[in-house]
């Protein structure tokens, strides 16, 4: 259920259980469009922590009237996450502060959990008016804009003042330590997924048939925001190379973003419109994953991508760039193949290798699923979060 913060108090008696029995944690995030990987973690959190004694609310600051927020609302309903809408008209919209403070007071929030530079700064500000413990998760500084240096600067000021900083990859932890976060407050907890939800129930052939795709064609897929750091242009050029060499391959890219016009222009320029398709936003990707012969991640910057975890859990062989925390998950030749960022030839060769060596793909499928089950279960991740919350609440400021 979604609530606009200004009207939220009117609904409280009808929807809220007795607060005395549950500690309230508020997950705060700035978002535009339909969100990204961090939202899978945030919106899945409430259903895993309720039994542990925590009532989790998700407060999302977003541009008023943003159509992408409706997609996030549907995700929240699917996962049973209480989603609070906080209209945000930009960096100088001080109404956001008032709305969030009202939520904190009404809900008696005990834990503020930020997920980006703005929610981190707001947590520090609001703590002056409402007593709560401060936690943040660093998901990765990946989307470069002209304001990115300012965001980095704000985070460098805020992070050392947080009581607990959770990093999703080791390289992010190192960056946080370099910002001055004390080691005892800086914890590595990698991303995870619900392995029961992401479990294969269709063969590749069955999934292709359901989607109306040729059974014999080697199908490559990728998922992510259509922005420059994702390197989708490199992936499209690699597929173009394979098509020129006579390979029967097809590429499907799921996602929306600012780079869509330039990617469409590149596809038209290369003449690969029949074999490289931009599918836009999709709410449920599990059937598409199961139709893939290969999942490709061509990014220049990432934290630890949820999309790779999803692909591996659904037994799809993965080719990914050798960056950030990815090599901890994609072990070259064991659980996937690693390539050099921006190298079209390297990426094309890795795809070709998996296309020609089907037994290698089968081995990677099995190893990828086994690794996710062993190390990246969402239930295990949330148990660790619960332990950290418990520890924080039993210590004095």
Q: Which domains occur in the chain, in start order?
A: 2-192+377-393 (3.40.50.2000), 204-375 (3.40.50.2000)
Alpha-carbon gap, residue 397 to 392, rounded angstroms: 9
Joined together, the tokens standing for residue 129 give 């008016």
pLDDT at 21: 77
Alpha-carbon gap, residue 216 to 315, rounded angstroms: 19
pLDDT at 143: 52
pLDDT at 145: 62
State pLDDT tens for residues 249-301: 999 999 999 999 999 999 999 999 999 999 998 878 999 999 999 999 999 98
Coil/strand/helix, residue 29: strand
Residue 7: pLDDT over 60: no
pLDDT at 2: 41
State pLDDT tens for residues 328-369: 999 999 999 999 999 999 999 999 999 999 999 999 999 999
Q: Cα torsion at 93, 106, 82, 4 (round to 10°)?
A: -40
Handedness of CA 60, 382, 106, 3 (dihedral sign): positive
Residue 306: pLDDT over 70: yes
pLDDT at 396: 77
pLDDT at 142: 53
pLDDT at 16: 37
Task: For residue 117, give every residue at least 6 positions away whose Cβ sits within 8 Å of its Cβ, in sequence order, or none.
Answer: 151, 152, 154, 155, 158
pLDDT at 124: 98
Angle of the 68-79 helix axis to the 37-49 helix axis, nearest 10:
30
pLDDT at 18: 38
């Amino acid at each position: 259920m979604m609530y606009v913060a200004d009207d939220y108090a009117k609904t409280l008696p009808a929807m809220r259980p007795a607060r005395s029995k549950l500690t309230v944690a508020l997950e705060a995030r700035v978002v535009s469009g339909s969100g990204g990987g961090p939202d899978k973690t945030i919106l899945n959190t409430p259903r895993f922590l309720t039994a542990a004694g925590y009532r989790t609310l998700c407060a999302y600051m977003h541009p008023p009237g943003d159509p992408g927020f409706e997609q996030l609302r549907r995700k929240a309903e699917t996962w049973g996450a209480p989603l609070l809408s906080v209209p945000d008209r930009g960096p100088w919209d001080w109404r956001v502060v008032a709305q969030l403070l009202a939520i904190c007071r009404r809900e008696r929030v005990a834990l503020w959990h930020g997920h980006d530079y703005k929610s981190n700064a707001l947590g520090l500000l609001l703590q002056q008016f409402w007593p709560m413990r401060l936690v943040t998760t660093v998901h990765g500084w990946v989307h470069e804009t002209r304001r990115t240096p300012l965001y980095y600067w704000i985070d460098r000021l805020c992070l050392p003042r947080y009581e607990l900083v959770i990093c999703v990859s080791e390289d992010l932890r190192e960056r946080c330590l370099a910002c001055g976060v004390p080691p005892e407050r800086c914890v590595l907890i990698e991303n995870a997924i619900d392995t029961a939800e992401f479990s294969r129930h269709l063969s590749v052939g069955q999934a292709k048939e359901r989607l109306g795709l040729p059974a014999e064609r080697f199908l490559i897929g990728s998922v992510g925001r259509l922005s420059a750091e994702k390197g989708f242009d490199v992936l499209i050029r690699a597929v173009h190379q394979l098509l020129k060499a006579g390979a029967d391959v097809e590429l499907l890219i799921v996602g929306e973003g600012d780079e869509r016009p330039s990617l469409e222009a590149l596809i038209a320029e290369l003449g690969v419109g029949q074999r490289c398709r931009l599918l836009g936003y999709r709410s449920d990707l599990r059937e598409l994953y199961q139709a893939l012969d290969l999942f490709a991640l061509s990014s220049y910057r990432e934290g630890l991508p949820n999309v790779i975890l999803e692909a591996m859990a659904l037994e799809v062989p993965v080719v990914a760039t050798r960056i950030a925390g990815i090599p901890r998950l994609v072990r070259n030749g064991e659980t996937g193949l690693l390539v050099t960022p921006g190298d079209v030839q390297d990426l094309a060769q890795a795809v070709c290798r998996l296309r020609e060596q089907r037994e290698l793909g089968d081995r990677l499928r099995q190893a990828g699923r086994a690794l996710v089950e062993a190390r990246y279960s969402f239930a295990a991740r949330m148990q660790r979060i619960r332990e950290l919350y418990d520890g924080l609440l039993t210590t004095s400021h």
